[in-house]
A = this chain, B = another copy of it.
Amino acid sequence: MAVTMRDVARYAGVSPRTVSNVVNDFELVSDATRQRVRLAIDALGYRPNLMARSLRRGRSGLIVLAVPELNIPYFSELAGAIIDEAEKHSYTVVIEQTDGHLDSERRLLDQSDRTLLADGLIFSPLALSHTELRQRSSDIPVLLLGEHVTDGMYDHVGIDNIGAARAAVEHLLQIGRRRIAAIGHQFQLSGETAQYRTQGYRATLEAAGRRFDPGLLASTPSFHRDSGARAMAELLDLPDPPDAVFCYNDLLAIGAMRMLSQRGLRVPEDVAVVGFDDIEEGRFTTATLTTISPNKRQIAAEAVGQLFRRISGDDGPARTVEAEFHLTVRESTVGTPTPEP
């Protein structure tokens, strides 16, 4: 079987206690002893048993990151950043995909198998309603990503969605667009993020003295590319189609641009497009994508940092952090400055 601490202790002629001290870098060991123990460890090829350690310490060193889907680039990029960030705290990340299903999301807070091992949960809920979120309580610290729906029950990291939507729409107004549509509104109660973006969209139009036209607000069943394409098609079929569209994420925008090119329309000349998330993909679309760029590294760092603080025992009131964002202007709104020869 595996070589244990006891084996090392015997081999080095010390007690397990001392081996533990060496392994965990406790300073109160004489250099001579430390040397001897190190040698024994190498000689025997000892590796600490993390399960035993976890059991004893009462912590697993694992956190769960629950997102809708890993193949939504925003989430895979964020997950990558969170994994890196967690590593800085010596934490390991387990990813759980909810597919936006209510059941999966419920199970997470119920301490299902997956979360049973974990010391904490970073959760980006999609289907779970406001109220339900508030009713349930998890044994481990939970940090919410996305909208601040929680009245001080959970720690939370998000961005100012209203402000971000405003930045997007103002940009479209600035470049002289007259009929600005939006793609990505959700009907479900749970889609708080979308609600806020719609709110920002509408408010900005009205502040600019434009009439809000409900016909230009396209709801989508998902945040995937195909939904964006379908929604764009519908908008183009209107008697008076838009000359600009603000999409609630980059995937929708990419689907919309695909549909525009299929219909033989040019971006941005015929229709300008703004996305949201700033995924890598948007830098290589045929018209590169103007988009709202949330600071993902900051989101990751704050999320892990906050959660870590809780795991370490902080018991203060729930905190909300708003991460930074900015508008990244690319070809899909302003065209190619100097077309290459």
Cβ–Cβ contact A70 & B76, under 8 A: yes
Q: How far is the CA of A263 from the CA of B339 in the complex (A)?
A: 8
User: Could you mark each residue 329-341 of chain A with 1 if its beta carbon is under 8 Å from any beta carbon of chain B, else 0?
Assistant: 0000000100111
Interface residues of A in 205-225 (CB under 8 A from B): 225
Q: How far is the CA of A52 from the CA of B55 in the complex (A)?
A: 6
In the complex, whether A270 has a CB less than 8 A from a CB of chain B is no
Assuming the contacts A51-B117, A95-B95, asked whether A280 and B80 have C-beta atoms less than 8 A apart, the reply is no
Interface residues of A in 29-66 (CB under 8 A from B): 47-52, 54-55, 60-62
Cβ–Cβ contact B73 & A71, under 8 A: yes
Cβ–Cβ contact A92 & B114, under 8 A: yes
In the complex, whether A15 has a CB less than 8 A from a CB of chain B is no
Min C-beta distance of A298 to chain B, whole Å? 17
In the complex, whether A255 has a CB less than 8 A from a CB of chain B is yes
Min C-beta distance of A140 to chain B, whole Å? 11
- Choose among B83, B96, B139 the residue that contacts A47 (Cβ–Cβ < 8 A): B139
Q: How far is the CA of A92 from the CA of B97 in the complex (A)?
A: 11
In the complex, whether A129 has a CB less than 8 A from a CB of chain B is no
What residues on B are CB-neighbors of A26 within 8 Å? Answer: none
What residues on B are CB-neighbors of A62 within 8 Å? Answer: 94
Min C-beta distance of A85 to chain B, whole Å? 12
What residues on B are CB-neighbors of A54 within 8 Å? Answer: 51
Chain B minimum-CB-distance residue to A256? B284
In the complex, whether A21 has a CB less than 8 A from a CB of chain B is no
In the complex, whether A127 has a CB less than 8 A from a CB of chain B is no
What residues on B are CB-neighbors of A281 within 8 Å? Answer: 254, 281
What residues on B are CB-neighbors of A341 within 8 Å? Answer: 263
In the complex, whether A69 has a CB less than 8 A from a CB of chain B is yes
Q: How far is the CA of A283 from the CA of B71 in the complex (A)?
A: 14
In the complex, whether A166 has a CB less than 8 A from a CB of chain B is no
Q: How far is the CA of A60 from the CA of B55 in the complex (A)?
A: 12
Chain B minimum-CB-distance residue to A225? B284
Cβ–Cβ contact A280 & B225, under 8 A: yes
Assuming the contacts A55-B49, A97-B80, A261-B286, asked whether A90 and B113 have C-beta atoms less than 8 A apart, the reply is yes
Interface residues of A in 112-130 (CB under 8 A from B): 113-114, 116-117
Chain B minimum-CB-distance residue to A286? B286
Min C-beta distance of A193 to chain B, whole Å? 21
Assuming the contacts A97-B84, A284-B255, asked whether A92 and B76 have C-beta atoms less than 8 A apart, the reply is no
Chain B minimum-CB-distance residue to A55? B51
Cβ–Cβ contact A70 & B80, under 8 A: yes
Q: How far is the CA of A193 from the CA of B70 in the complex (A)?
A: 25
Q: How far is the CA of A258 from the CA of B331 in the complex (A)?
A: 13
What residues on B are CB-neighbors of A50 within 8 Å? Answer: 60, 113, 116-117
| Interchain residue pairs A-B with the least CB separation, the first 3 | A76-B76, A286-B286, A70-B80
Can you list 22 residue pairs at the A/B interface with Cβ under 8 Å?
Answer: A47-B111, A47-B116, A49-B55, A49-B116, A52-B55, A61-B117, A62-B94, A70-B79, A70-B83, A73-B73, A76-B76, A84-B97, A92-B94, A92-B114, A254-B284, A257-B286, A258-B284, A261-B286, A262-B340, A263-B340, A281-B281, A285-B286
